Amino acid sequence: MKILQARIYGFGKWVDYEIDFSKHSFITIFGHNESGKSTLQRFLQFMLFGLPPKQRKYYQPKDSSKMGGRLFILDTEIGEYSIERIGDANNGAAKCFTPDGKEYDESWLKERLHSIDEKTYRAIFSFSAMDLNDLQDVKEEEISEVLLGIGLSGSTKIYSVEKRLEQQIGEFFKPYGKNPIINQQLQTLERLQREIKELKEEEAEYREKKNAIHRIKGDITLLEKTIKEEKERQFQLEKLIQAFPQIEEYIGLQNRLKELPEEFYFPEDGMERIESLKRELIPLESEIKLAIRNREIFQKEMEKLEGQNSEISFIEAKKIITQSNEYQDMEKEKKVVRERVDQLHREIRSKLSNLNLGLEMEQLSHYQLPFHLEKDWNHYRISIESITREMRQIKENTQLQQAKLERITEELSRVESSQLTADKRSELEGILELHHESQLLEIVQKEHYHKQEKWKKTKLQKRKRLNALWIGSLFLGVVTAALSFITDQFWLINISVLSLIVGLLQWFLGVKSIQNMDKMLEPNTTTPFRTISVEERRSAESLLLQEQEILREKELLQDKLLDTEIQLQQLTEKQVVIENQQDELMERIALEKTKYPFLEHVDLNYWPELYHTLKGILDQIKQIDELYNQDRDISQKLDVYHNLLDKFIEKHYPSSNFKSYISKLEFLGNEISAYQDREQQIQQLKIRLQDIENQVQEKTISYELVEERIISLFSKANAKDEEEFYKRYREWKEQTELLESCRRIATQISSYFTSEKWNNIIENPPSRSKVELELKECVQLIKHLEEELGQKRQQLANLTVELQNLEKSESYSKTIHVFQMEKERLHKLARKWAVLKTAKELLSETKHQYRDKYLTRVLEKTTQYFRNLTDHQYVQVFSPTADKPFMVENSNKIRFSVKELSQGTINQLYVSLRLAISEVMSEKFHLPFIIDDAFVHFDKLRNKRMLEILESISKNHQILFFTCKQDVLEEIPIQNLVHLTNHIPLVENKW
């Protein structure tokens, strides 16, 4: 990049000023102090990078309102363009104009300047005498670093920053330190970690403690059990000692018991039971005796009553009394019968008088009226009536038939007169027959014709067939003949001849049959016959029909006449039969009248009624007879009864004298009731006797039962009699008392000893002294065990407390939280440290890389410039190493460190370094150098050398060199020089 021209509209003291830098790439701008050199530099910077508002205000010209200007630039990439900034317009922002007329803004410009800002630009591309003054302040040992810093970024801060960071890092952490924060934190963590471990172990004891508690609890249970057992034993022993007197007594009792029979049984409450049974026997005995006495009394009484009753025949008397009722009924019946007889007599007499036939009852009773009589009499009456009626009817019919006969005869004669003659009829019949024959002949002819036609066709076919057959056989014959000749098989000739013969025969037979058929069907010649006209035929037919009709009528009439005659004959016969019947009947009536003379005076018609009346009377007479019989029977029975009664009375009560049957019966009734009373008394006595008998039996059984029980008691007690029983009782009582005493003692000690143990004691009675010794030992053991139990309980209590404390303790929990928090703190600190460390490392590494990248070349250039400037007094510059700062080597190969150099030489080195840096840097950026009297302390010679160097640099870079030194001008070609004066015209250097 090259600055071509600067046009100032107004900036500081410069108003409407234009300056051209395009002619040469190394331009020296000369001006005295206060000639506006710095302002111009500022202007250039303003144009390129802008200025803050305050600075802009500072450079506002006093005598002009204009502020700003335009800078013309030549860019290697895009060619010429201009930058314009005007005062506060757009806040001092730039406007860029390219040759193609386009306008760009600040950011475009920034891009063109490779984002280099004013500060960087000043650090790298511009330097002044002021920079060298700064150098004076730097401590000698730091010069190397400062120089490096300048060499790297133009900043002097790298060194101090790095130092500061390192210090901070050290405050935070040292790998082997103790005091830095992180190291201390690590120690804290270490401590906490240990604490946690301890606490954890402590908490781990929890499990052990729990187990211990469990174990101790088990021990305690066991101890408590043992103590309980031992105490039990102690108690037993004590009791044993107490029980010694009883034991002795018991043994004594047992010995006495042994004297008594071993197997002993006495019934339960035996004595009481015997006494009570005896008490039961006494009343039973007296009751039985009383009952027997009563039985005798009742028996006597009964015998007396039975004697009384045996005197009377009770059954007979009872029978008579029973029959007395029957007897009374009979008496009544007899009376009724007699009354009835009288009444019937009266009725018969009145009926007979009503008939008025002169018949008496006695007469009538002689007549028999058989059962058929009524029918007979009735039959006579009806027969007479029917005969009379039939006779009248026959008479009427005969008359009717005779009239009919006459009428038919008349009709017959009329029919006979209208009949045809026999000749006439035969003629008519001939005509009809002739007609019939002619019709038949016609039909036969038609049929014959049809058959002939059919035959003609058949014949033709037959002929053809015959011919074919013939030709076939002929052919066969010829062939076989030929074959026989060819083959010389002569038997084939036979076949040929045979076939020819067969063929010929067939043909002949065929022709013959055809001829026969022809003959048969020859048409027969028809014979002619006479024909009959139609009218003739019809009249003949009708006449014949009429004749037939008349014949039929005549036959009918003849039949009728015959019938009538027969009927007349029949009627006459019937009349004769009826007359005979009448005669016979009359004879029989007469017979009846002789049999029953009273009928003479009675018309036949009333006979049936008479029969009825007579029949009724006869029945009544019969009734009377029956009633008489009845009366007789009753009287007989009554007599028998009276006899019986009388006989009984006489037999049993001969002294008595009764007048009537009634009184007799009454007496008899009384006797019977007295008998019955006695009988009842006997029955009652019998019942009572039975009761007493039962009582006696019952009591006897009871008595026996009691006796049995007494005996069984005896046998149970193993006693034969009462005496022995009482003895057994005494023995039993003694044994019981002994056992009771033993039991009492056993009961007293049963609360202390089990039965088993007691038995043991009794069998082997222990010695008192031995027991006492044992007791003593036991008491001692208990005491010992109780002490142990107390200890265990204490242990348990302690452990429980410890466990509870553990459960309550939060120290582990708390410590892990603290630990975690402290860890976090460490983490934070470490992070802070990491940031510092990273920053530091970043800085130093960048620095190293930077140096590696540029320093070699910077040093080459520096050496070159430094050598030129010192006129080869110094020939080599060495970059600083880890422990060494910058070194320079003089022509005598002697090396000096920077601080050993004089100020002037340091200045030269510095300038060389700056130039070298700028040059190296601008290889990348190609920005113009702005140098402001950097060589103010240089003498003429050195200046000259300096200018030579600049001259050579300017081949690649534009250099704007501001100076106020007159002697410099001498070294500079005039065309490269710009004079700044207070009265410089707007446009200068027109050359």
Partner 1 sequence: MKKKISFIHAADLHLDSPFNGLSDLHETQFQEVRESTFKALENLVTTAIKREVDFIVLVGDLFDNDKQSLKAQIKLRNAFEKLQAHQIDVYVSYGNHDYTSGNIYPITYPENVHIFQDEQVRSFTYVKDNTPLAMIYGFSYENRAVIHNKAHEYKKGDATIPFHIAMLHGSIESNTDHDTYAPFQVGQLVQADFDYWALGHIHKREILKENPYIIYPGNIQGRNRKEIGPKGCYYVELTETQQLVEFVPLQAVQYHTLTVDLVDCDSIHQVEEILTNTLKKIPASVPQLLDVSIRGGTKLWEWKNDDVLDELIEIINESFSSQRNWLYIFRYSVIEGETVHQLEGDYFIGEIKNKLEEFTGGEHISEIYQHKEARKYLDHLDADELKEINKEAYELLIHKLFQE
Site residues (vs partner 1, CB under 8 A): 113-117, 119-120, 124, 152-153, 155, 157-158, 161, 164-165, 173, 175, 182, 186, 189-190, 193, 203-204, 206-207, 210, 806-807, 809-810, 812-814, 816-828, 830-831, 833-839, 841-843, 845-846, 849-850, 853, 921
Q: Between 204 and 797, whose beta carbon lies closer to partner 1? A: 204
Distance linking the first and last C-alpha atoms of the chain: 23
Q: Between 189 and 408, whose beta carbon lies closer to partner 1? A: 189
Q: Between 685 and 921, whose beta carbon lies closer to partner 1? A: 921
Q: Between 27 and 182, whose beta carbon lies closer to partner 1? A: 182
Q: Is 356 left (phi over 0), alpha (psi -120 to 50) or beta?
A: left
CB 913 within 8 A of CB 862: yes
Q: What angle do CA 752, 757, 762 make, to 5 degrees?
A: 105
CA distances from 180 to 165, 186, 359, 834, 839 (A): 14, 10, 197, 14, 19
DSSP 344: H
Residue positions counted in the chain:
991
Q: Between 344 and 816, whose beta carbon lies closer to partner 1? A: 816
DSSP 987: B
CB 123 within 8 A of CB 921: no
| Closest CA relative to residue 948, chosen from 124, 980, 938 | 938
Q: How far is the CB of 134 from partner 1 (least distance, A)?
A: 17
Q: Between 842 and 974, whose beta carbon lies closer to partner 1? A: 842
Query: Under 8 Å CB-to-CB from 59, ≥6 apart: which residues?
Result: 11, 12, 39, 42, 43, 46, 51, 67
Q: What angle do CA 203, 206, 211 make, to 5 degrees?
A: 160
Query: Under 8 Å CB-to-CB from 202, ≥6 apart: which residues?
Result: 806, 809, 812
Q: How far is the CB of 34 from partner 1 (least distance, A)?
A: 32
* Rounded distance between C-alpha atoms, residue 484 and residue 491, angstroms: 7
Q: Between 36 and 92, whose beta carbon lies closer to partner 1? A: 92
Give a three-class secondary structure readout of 361-392. HHHHCCCCCCCCHHHHHHHHHHHHHHHHHHHH
Q: How far is the CB of 184 from partner 1 (least distance, A)?
A: 12
Q: Between 210 and 424, whose beta carbon lies closer to partner 1? A: 210
Tokens 């003089």 sit on residue? 890
Q: Between 164 and 588, whose beta carbon lies closer to partner 1? A: 164
CB 206 within 8 A of CB 805: no
Q: Between 115 and 747, whose beta carbon lies closer to partner 1? A: 115
* Rounded distance between C-alpha atoms, residue 537 and residue 431, angstroms: 7
Give a three-class secondary structure readout of 173-216. CCCCCCCCHHHHHHHHHHHHHHHHHHHHHHHHHHHHHHHHHHHH
Q: How far is the CB of 216 from partner 1 (least distance, A)?
A: 16
Q: How far is the CB of 820 from partner 1 (least distance, A)?
A: 3
* Rounded distance between C-alpha atoms, residue 717 and residue 269, angstroms: 11
Q: How far is the CB of 922 from partner 1 (least distance, A)?
A: 11
Q: How far is the CB of 955 from partner 1 (least distance, A)?
A: 23
Tokens 């992070």 sit on residue? 831
Q: Between 172 and 865, whose beta carbon lies closer to partner 1? A: 172
> What kind and span of H or E run contains 895?
strand 895-897
Q: How far is the CB of 821 from partner 1 (least distance, A)?
A: 5
Q: Between 162 and 671, whose beta carbon lies closer to partner 1? A: 162
Q: How far is the CB of 902 from partner 1 (least distance, A)?
A: 30
By DSSP bridging, strand 95-97 and strand 103-104 are antiparallel
* Rounded distance between C-alpha atoms, residue 547 and residue 557, angstroms: 16
For 583, counting Cβ atoms within 10 Å of its Cβ (0-12 exposed, 13-18 middle, 19+ buried), the class is exposed
| 3-state secondary structure at position 476 | helix
Q: How far is the CB of 195 from partner 1 (least distance, A)?
A: 13
99 phi and psi angles, rounded to 5 deg: -55, -30
Q: How far is the CB of 779 from partner 1 (least distance, A)?
A: 41
Q: How far is the CB of 987 from partner 1 (least distance, A)?
A: 34
Query: Under 8 Å CB-to-CB from 448, ≥6 apart: which residues?
Result: 521, 523, 524
Q: How far is the CB of 84 from partner 1 (least distance, A)?
A: 22
Q: Between 263 and 807, whose beta carbon lies closer to partner 1? A: 807
Q: How far is the CB of 185 from partner 1 (least distance, A)?
A: 9
Q: Which two tokens stand for residue 331?
A: 């008496």
Question: Any alpha helices (H) in 50-128, and if so which ranges?
Answer: 53-58, 106-112, 118-125
Q: Which two tokens stand for residue 149?
A: 């810093």
Strand partners, 86: 68
* Rounded distance between C-alpha atoms, residue 3 and residue 960, angstroms: 9
Q: How far is the CB of 189 from partner 1 (least distance, A)?
A: 5
Q: Between 649 and 913, whose beta carbon lies closer to partner 1? A: 913
Chain Cα centroid distance, residue 337: 107
Q: Between 186 and 719, whose beta carbon lies closer to partner 1? A: 186
Q: How far is the CB of 56 from partner 1 (least distance, A)?
A: 18
Q: Between 199 and 344, whose beta carbon lies closer to partner 1? A: 199
Q: How far is the CB of 893 from partner 1 (least distance, A)?
A: 34
Question: Any alpha helices (H) in 527-606, and if so which ranges?
Answer: 534-595
Q: Between 165 and 428, whose beta carbon lies closer to partner 1? A: 165
Q: How far is the CB of 865 from partner 1 (least distance, A)?
A: 20
Q: Between 663 and 820, whose beta carbon lies closer to partner 1? A: 820
CB 267 within 8 A of CB 715: no
